[in-house]
């Protein structure tokens, strides 16, 4: 008997944006496969909450997305548990500075393998299952793919590659599967902090004059998955209007 609810695979789902996306999709009726790398305690807390609301609705999978062979395994475990896949949300991301003149092959791999290769390989592995359900993919990109951030050359390039992959996959997987992306603006400050002057300068370039919320990103993900039936290959800025001012 087919699984009765839609199923979403979300990478980097233990905390921050990933956890907000997981909570929103779960509330909308999705059963979930939640990937994490290191944040086991955060994942356990999230799963306890979601399983308390709907027992048997969450499968967690630990993996380093830089390891190629683990990527098809995530999809295989999803199908093994639920027998279907309706949504892939490529949320996991690597972010670190790479000033020009200091960039090494390890810097390249650390960000490109997570930000560009992993979403592509996951999409490739998920494609037959998403076609069967006429599902959708949402990639989390960045405004910096279009407007580069100083001293973050490799990160900006990796997110630009994911934008290109979003558009190319939209062509390759149409008409059965829609593929879109979200480019968040100032939503969450980095874990290691950000100078107050830098925060103020960033918000001064944001017409809405505030940071966005995790839930606003999660709402946009849900809309692209369920409500945007005639939208594919699109990058949706959720940035408070920041791109308007450059």
The pTM of the whole model exceeds 0.85: yes
* CA 214 from centroid of its chain's CA atoms: 12
CA–CA distance from 236 to each of 53, 58, 126, 164 (Å)? 31, 28, 22, 14
Catalytic residues: 155
The DSSP output letter for 144 is: G
Q: Tell me, what's the pLDDT at 166?
A: 98
Q: Omega of the bond prior to 37 within 30 degrees of 0, cis?
A: no
Q: Which fold has domain 7-235?
A: Rossmann fold (3.40.50)
Does 32 or 244 have the greater pLDDT score?
32
3 state DSSP class of 246: coil
The model's pLDDT over 184-198, given as tens digits with 9 standing for 90+, comes to 998 877 666 667 877
The model's pLDDT over 9-53, given as tens digits with 9 standing for 90+, comes to 999 999 999 999 999 999 999 999 999 999 999 999 999 999 999
CA distance 137 to 109: 24
The mean pLDDT value for 57-68 works out to: 98
| Burial readout 148-180 (b: 16 or more C-beta within 10 A, e: otherwise) | eeeebbbbbbbbbbbbebbbebbeebeeebbbb
The model's pLDDT over 126-147, given as tens digits with 9 standing for 90+, comes to 999 999 999 999 999 999 999 9
Q: Do 114 and 33 touch, CB atoms closer than 8 A?
A: no
Domain residue extents for the chain? 7-235
| Nearest in space to 204 (alpha carbons), one of 150, 241, 149, 151 | 241
CA distance 189 to 199: 8
């Amino acid at each position: 008997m087919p699984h009765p609810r839609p199923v979403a695979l979300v990478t980097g789902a233990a905390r921050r944006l990933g956890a907000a996306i997981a909570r929103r999709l779960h509330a909308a009726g999705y059963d979930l496969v939640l990937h994490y790398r290191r944040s086991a305690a955060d994942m356990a807390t999230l799963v306890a909450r979601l399983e308390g609301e709907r027992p048997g609705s969450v499968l967690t999978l630990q993996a380093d997305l830089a390891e190629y062979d683990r990527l098809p395994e995530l999809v295989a475990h999803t199908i093994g548990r639920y027998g279907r896949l309706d949504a892939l949300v490529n949320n996991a991301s690597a972010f670190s500075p790479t000033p020009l003149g200091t960039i090494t092959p390890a810097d390249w791999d650390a960000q490109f393998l997570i930000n560009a290769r992993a979403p592509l390989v996951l999409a490739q592995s998920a494609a037959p299952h998403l076609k069967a359900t006429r599902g959708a993919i949402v990639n989390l990109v960045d405004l910096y793919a279009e407007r580069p951030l100083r001293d973050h050359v490799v990160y900006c390039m990796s997110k630009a590659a994911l934008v290109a992959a979003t558009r190319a996959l939209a062509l390759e997987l149409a008409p059965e599967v829609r593929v879109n992306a979200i480019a968040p603006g100032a939503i969450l400050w980095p874990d290691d902090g950000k100078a107050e002057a830098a925060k103020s300068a960033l918000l001064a370039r944001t017409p809405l004059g505030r940071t966005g919320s995790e839930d606003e990103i999660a709402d946009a993900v849900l809309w692209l998955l369920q409500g945007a039936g005639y939208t594919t290959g699109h990058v949706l800025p959720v940035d408070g209007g920041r791109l308007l001012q450059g």
